[in-house]
Structure 1
Amino acid sequence: MEAIKKRPARGMDVDLIHGPIFRNLLWFAVPIFISNLFQQLYNAADTMIVGNVLGDSALAAVGACGSIYELLVGFGLGIGNGLAIVTARAFGAEDYKRVRQSVAWSMIIGIVASLIITAVGMLFLHPLLVLLDTPTEILEDAYSYISVIALFVLVMFAYNLCAALLRAIGNSVMPLVFLVFSSCLNVGLDILFITRFNMGVAGAAVATVIAQAVSVVLCILYILKKTEILVPRREHFAYDRGLVKELVGQGLSMGLMSSIVSAGSVILQYGINGLGTLVIAGHTAARKLFALTDMPVMAISMAAATFVSQNRGASQPQRVRQGMRQTFLFCIGTAVVMSLLMLVSARWLVGLVSGSSEPVVLDNGAAYLIWNAPFYSVLGILLATRYALQSLGQKVLPLISSGIEFVGKILFVLFFIPRFEYMAVILCEPIIWCFMCAQLLYVYFRDPFIRSASAAPEKAES
């Protein structure tokens, strides 16, 4: 262990290992929620500007490659989150040498993975869009958007890794600060590139990349000046086989989990693309709104990942179990609130985001949101449990849930969407989430660390 013997000064960090569980977990989750919200807002800004300025066809072009975007970027982001789990466990164990070593090798692994993703993406993007039956009239616009994203996967990965490392030591505030600034920049660049420079849908992608790059620069400058514990020195780049194996295993596990889910979304997109341009446009708007309104359960799940990682490192199983129980209750409450919201405002929200007055766009988008909202409880429990299992060191069993989702979406595309059309799209994910959630909870309650909580004395504060 390094010369640093004391835990570094907390500053903006939240102590997830000591003190009241739900209060600290919620306090840690709030900046993550706002950060995710702003990230989705500037994604929604792309959609609103594209839909309102360029029309339904351009909006459909962005939507048609949305699942490929998730596949490309999601794999890199999953790797970054997996790498940060190792850092959080080392931080919880107060092994600060290992914290810096994990940062050093996370950088190396991340750069290599991002370059591979970019190379593969640039080779296969256009053929994949054709294979997915993307309508001919929007094919080139879709390619112009997604090719820019693929070319700069490294930028997306770098921001996510920096933010994840800061959260690994309990700091969820500064990633938010940087993202708010870049979100405002993204909206301004969207307007500039699309309306003034006439760059079309590609302008939205360029704006997103530039905004993410600004976030990366700000994060790196902050880490260098304020978080010495995350700044590796030359000796921390020395090869440590055990650490590198753990990082690669944890990173690939989360990356594969994300990519399997995204591959399922690509297959589902194939079924949606066959339903026509207006249906694609309505689904695109609804998915953007879904990504905004599920932010509370996403944020608490991400907070739970760091919480579980640190307390796993600190060997506090009872505290982990209490924190997860409170996370589950939060997700159920969120589902109730969102269900009421969608009942009264879903159609208006779809119209606002899409800029469309077409009944097909508005009705389908609203139906998607109304049917999905009650299942936010299942989704939140699913995500929190999956992240928790990854944080506990499980690498294979959480992947089974992704396999369930992948197979389920194939079955819906083959058998249900051709018969029931968009209604099958609406019900696809909620039904699959229920099966995934059951499998993950079974694995979670059988995990040796979690089961040891029942024999541990009641120490954790609630």
Structure 2
Amino acid sequence: MKKNIDLTQGRILGPLMRFTLPIMAALVLQTLYGAVDLLVVGQFASPASVSAVATGSQVLYSLTVIITGLAMGVTILIGQQFGQRKEEEIGNTVGAGICLFAVLSLILTGIMLIMTPVFVRLLKAPPEAFDYTVQYVMICSAGILFIAAYNTLGSIFRGMGDARTPLIAVLIACIANIGLDLLFVAVFKMGAAGAALATILAQACSVILSLLIIRKRGLIFPFSRKQIRFNKTIILRIIKMGAPCALQDLLVSISFLAITAIVNQLGVIASAGVGVAEKLCGFIMLVPSSYTQSMSAYVAQNIGAGLKKRAKKGLYYGMLTSFCFGIIMSYFAFFHGETLSRVFAKDSAVILASAEYLKGYAIDTLLVSFLFCFIGYFNGCGSTTFVMVQGLVGAFGVRIPVSYLMSKAAEVSLFHIALATPCSTVVQIILCLSYFRWKNSKNFTVKTS
């Protein structure tokens, strides 16, 4: 029980930060886990392999967001059950979630094994990197089952206020991936294929060892194998809450894939440069992303306990602390982009391209401190349909059109293309603020089922 934080009682800021920081650490490791592929390939392989891993990672990220978005439904449902002190119902939710994600992972694996060449072609991967990209994605797709297992475990424990167990899982994966990447890429010279193989083996190690840790430690709620079944009622509730998040995350990811396709037409240097920048952006965005997850669980617990005012206070604390972190991240992204880019690339042209793109993201780092907390708040309230709508407006109404227009300018600048993201965030914040004020003016009631 010590690892679980009851977010419905006592002070707000202290428990919220104790819950958020392990999530932040887990996201750091998870991003490092994905970035190690690009880091090692960037140091020991060709620019074509760097482009392949960069583009392939975008494809795999689109798959991952489907799983993580749907897993948000599990987090919200368990968080509300935990806040209502209905621990006996959590086991049924866990069992239904396991069945749901097992089937989903098998479907996604089948799709990727058939459609990967089509997806890579749509992304307009540079000709010299096309075969490497297909190879990387095909191999990584074999590990979708492990991605689903990790995210299912994480969603369960975050819903109960336990951010440490997911941290252990991703720590195991990160350590394994670093070692295997160095072995396959640096020693065996396997390039992008070696990085992909290292990724799926590390994922498998993480899931297996995490399950052993959970088995030894035990669970705080009643659970048996009989509860692992297709409970139609619970699965529909998970889908109802998680599907809008999954769809929003998927379509937002597609918008970034569209930007990748736009940039890929500018050549292999631009492609590799933006790929490096996107990996760095993964680290830069860790703070607001961690607040999305922690805020979702925090609000879900308090909504389940009927503490709406406490939920709103948590939102304000989250925005304030997230913005303080955002200032630091923005400074390094804008003024030290070249230094950061050298971590993942050694080609000077790629480094300059990456640094130029990062300057646009530096602005967005400040803005998402507010947006991501709003998203977490609405997720916890169960207003996931609105979260989906505002995400789609930002992605397809602003981000893609602005990126396309910037790419057609007389003098194309990666900085100007990157500005499409903060432009989108501004519009989304306006939508969130308007919805928040409208909901509170109506003194709305939140449905917990």
Report TM bin, short chain: over 0.9
Matches within 5 A, 1:371-450: 371-407=360-396, 408-419=398-409, 420-447=412-439
Once residues 450 and 143 of structure 1 are traced to their aligned partners in structure 2, the CA distance between those partners, rounded to angstroms, is 51
Structure 2: runs of 5+ lacking an equivalent: none
How far the C-alpha of 1:227 sits from its partner, in A, is 4.0
Residues 1:199 and 1:161: Cα distance change in structure 2 (over 3 Å): same
Once residues 230 and 78 of structure 1 are traced to their aligned partners in structure 2, the CA distance between those partners, rounded to angstroms, is 24
Matched residue type, 1:180: L
How far the C-alpha of 1:169 sits from its partner, in A, is 1.0
How far the C-alpha of 1:243 sits from its partner, in A, is 2.4
How far the C-alpha of 1:427 sits from its partner, in A, is 0.6
Matched residue type, 1:378: L
Correspondent of 1:114 among 105, 108, 132? 105
How far the C-alpha of 1:425 sits from its partner, in A, is 2.0
How far the C-alpha of 1:142 sits from its partner, in A, is 0.6
Name the residue aligned to 1:339. 330
Name the residue aligned to 1:142. 133
Contact 1:405 1:432 in 2 (8 A): yes
2:21 maps to 1:13: no
Name the residue aligned to 2:267. 276
How far the C-alpha of 1:222 sits from its partner, in A, is 2.9
Residues 1:157 and 1:235: Cα distance change in structure 2 (over 3 Å): closer
Matched residue type, 1:173: R
Contact 2:333 2:361 in 1 (8 A): no
Matches within 5 A, 1:51-450: 51-230=42-221, 232-237=223-228, 240-358=231-349, 361-407=350-396, 408-419=398-409, 420-447=412-439
How far the C-alpha of 1:231 sits from its partner, in A, is 5.8
Contact 1:264 1:409 in 2 (8 A): yes
Once residues 214 and 384 of structure 1 are traced to their aligned partners in structure 2, the CA distance between those partners, rounded to angstroms, is 32
Farther off after superposition, 418-427 or 75-84: 418-427
Residues 1:345 and 1:410: Cα distance change in structure 2 (over 3 Å): closer
Contact 1:163 1:219 in 2 (8 A): no
Contact 1:317 1:450 in 2 (8 A): no
Contact 1:335 1:375 in 2 (8 A): no
TM, length-normalised to structure 1: 0.90
Residues 1:196 and 1:384: Cα distance change in structure 2 (over 3 Å): same
Contact 2:353 2:414 in 1 (8 A): yes
Residues 1:120 and 1:444: Cα distance change in structure 2 (over 3 Å): farther
Matched residue type, 1:370: K
How far the C-alpha of 1:397 sits from its partner, in A, is 1.4
Once residues 330 and 395 of structure 2 are traced to their aligned partners in structure 1, the CA distance between those partners, rounded to angstroms, is 26
Matched residue type, 1:77: T
Residues 1:230 and 1:57: Cα distance change in structure 2 (over 3 Å): farther
TM, length-normalised to structure 2: 0.93
Once residues 236 and 389 of structure 1 are traced to their aligned partners in structure 2, the CA distance between those partners, rounded to angstroms, is 29
Once residues 208 and 20 of structure 2 are traced to their aligned partners in structure 1, the CA distance between those partners, rounded to angstroms, is 23
Once residues 229 and 445 of structure 1 are traced to their aligned partners in structure 2, the CA distance between those partners, rounded to angstroms, is 38
Residues 1:450 and 1:140: Cα distance change in structure 2 (over 3 Å): farther
Once residues 260 and 298 of structure 1 are traced to their aligned partners in structure 2, the CA distance between those partners, rounded to angstroms, is 17
- CA-based RMSD of the aligned residues comes to 2.0
Residues 1:449 and 1:105: Cα distance change in structure 2 (over 3 Å): farther
Contact 1:76 1:255 in 2 (8 A): yes
SS class of match (2:3): coil
How far the C-alpha of 1:329 sits from its partner, in A, is 1.1
How far the C-alpha of 1:28 sits from its partner, in A, is 0.7
SS class of match (1:320): helix
Matched residue type, 2:315: M
Residues 1:231 and 1:36: Cα distance change in structure 2 (over 3 Å): farther
Residues 1:170 and 1:279: Cα distance change in structure 2 (over 3 Å): same
Once residues 107 and 447 of structure 1 are traced to their aligned partners in structure 2, the CA distance between those partners, rounded to angstroms, is 34
Once residues 270 and 394 of structure 1 are traced to their aligned partners in structure 2, the CA distance between those partners, rounded to angstroms, is 32
Q: Deviations over 1:99-149 (max 9, x none)?
A: 111101001111111111112222211012112221111000011111122
Contact 1:100 1:229 in 2 (8 A): no
SS class of match (1:384): helix
How far the C-alpha of 1:414 sits from its partner, in A, is 3.8
SS class of match (2:344): helix
Once residues 328 and 193 of structure 2 are traced to their aligned partners in structure 1, the CA distance between those partners, rounded to angstroms, is 36
Matched residue type, 1:304: M
Matched residue type, 1:368: Y
Name the residue aligned to 1:4. none
How far the C-alpha of 1:352 sits from its partner, in A, is 2.2
Residues 1:335 and 1:294: Cα distance change in structure 2 (over 3 Å): same
Residues 1:402 and 1:429: Cα distance change in structure 2 (over 3 Å): same
Q: Deviations over 1:427-452 (max 9, x none)?
A: 11111111112112222333369946
Contact 2:93 2:234 in 1 (8 A): yes
Once residues 88 and 449 of structure 1 are traced to their aligned partners in structure 2, the CA distance between those partners, rounded to angstroms, is 25
